[in-house]
Amino acid sequence: MAESVYKVIELVGTSTDSWEKAAAVAVERASKSLRDLRVAEVTKLDLTLQDGKVQAYRAKVKVSFKFE
């Protein structure tokens, strides 16, 4: 494998449906402005609440891409 350098950024995706969708939203949005995405790691899951009910699912995601 050739030597490479990767940059890692942290994103928070949100969804009213699920944590899986929240993580997918973060990756899909990142793919619109970043090239050569390599790995996405979900590091934290949480919820936003309103009146004691789930308002949104949130996924904190670390995304890496090749640094040019």
In degrees, rounded to 5, the angle at the alpha carbon of residue 37 between the alpha carbons of residues 34 and 40 is: 115
Encode pLDDT of 3-54 as tens digits.
889 999 999 999 999 999 999 999 999 999 999 899 999 999 999 999 999 9
Contact 42, 23 (CB under 8 A): yes
> What is the value of pTM for the model shown?
0.87
Domain ranges of the chain: 6-63
34 phi and psi, to 5 degrees?
-115, 145
CATH number for region 6-63: 3.30.1660.10
